[in-house]
Amino acid sequence: MQNFTYRDENKQKNIIEIIHLDDAILIVNKPAGLLVIPDHWNPDALNLIDLLQKQLKKNEASNTELFVVHRIDKETSGLVMFARTSEFHRFLNDEFENNRIKKSYLAIVGGVPIENKGKIEAPILYSGKGRVSIHPDGKPSATEFVVLERYKHFSLLQVHPLTGRTHQIRVHLKSIGYQLAIDPMYSNRSELNIFDIKWGGRRRKEEYETSLMSRLSLHAWRLEFYHPELEKLVQFEIEPPKDFRALLKALKKWDR
């Protein structure tokens, strides 16, 4: 199975990159803007698992069934893994349950942490309308982070969720004052342009209008786990897409 293209809701062409495929698992690089599974309210909405299963059938694969192991938000880019057998699905679920699969994300956040690394432990509760919040009655949740790069008003973090709650990284980072730089739901910012990060100096009119990035500033960067068929620890990593890299480049230039 090779990389393939699809057209999104705006008729734009996007690529599904196949990172790894064997008899047990399928790992892909999901573009931002694509659901992982069908939407509960709109089951006909374009989604990753349907696209992959159709492509497997097109390739006349003997096994086209995929099992969901984990999900990332629609507007998050990066690695997503599926099981190809019910046995491996059970194994991976157990590995996730016991925190033996390490997921690492790259996050561009507002603010500059003083500490180089930290751990956030705060219970998360579903609060309705697709949102979650930090609440004493919520489920225990933990997230670790390391500061990779500091700018003047923003930072690049490597984030490792130790539990798998909905929107965990987003609300945990917000709870310590470093919410995602772009997050319409939790930071009230839906995009960043040059004007937003160019501090001082002259600002041209087009800098108000040219968007560097207009989706969650979060990328599922790395997966590390034990593969029972290969009988070894495996690691997969994918660099951020063009918009994420463009924002980092602009920060290095204008927000030092």
Residue range 42-81, pLDDT digits in tens: 888 899 999 999 999 988 767 789 999 999 999 999 999 9
Domain 102-256 in CATH 3.60.15.10: no
CB 227 within 8 A of CB 219: no
User: Span 80-100, mean pLDDT?
Assistant: 93
Q: For the domain 1-98, what is the CATH code?
A: 3.30.2350.10
Instruction: Supply the pLDDT for residue 1.
Output: 82
Instruction: Supply the pLDDT for residue 44.
Output: 83
Residue 206 pLDDT grade (very low, low, confident, very high; cuts 50, 70, 90): low
User: Span 170-181, mean pLDDT?
Assistant: 97
73 as an active site residue: the answer is: yes
Fold match between domain 1-98 and domain 102-256: yes
**What's the sign of the alpha-carbon dihedral 143, 144, 147, 152?**
positive
Task: Identify which has the larger pLDDT, 233 or 40.
Answer: 233
Predicted confidence (pLDDT) at residue 207 exceeds the cutoff of 80: no
- % the chain with pLDDT above 70: 95
Predicted confidence (pLDDT) at residue 205 exceeds the cutoff of 80: no
Its pTM stands at 0.94
* Ranges 43-57, 77-91, 108-122, 186-200: which has the least confidence: 186-200
**Sequence spans of domains, the chain:** 1-98, 102-256
Residue range 5-31, pLDDT digits in tens: 999 888 889 999 999 999 999 999 999
Task: Identify which has the larger pLDDT, 206 or 124.
Answer: 124
Mean pLDDT (the chain) is 92
Residue range 133-169, pLDDT digits in tens: 999 999 999 999 999 999 999 999 999 999 999 999 9
Residue range 119-136, pLDDT digits in tens: 999 999 998 888 999 999
CB 131 within 8 A of CB 167: yes
**Catalytic residue selected from 8, 39, 44, 73:** 73
Instruction: Supply the pLDDT for residue 17.
Output: 97
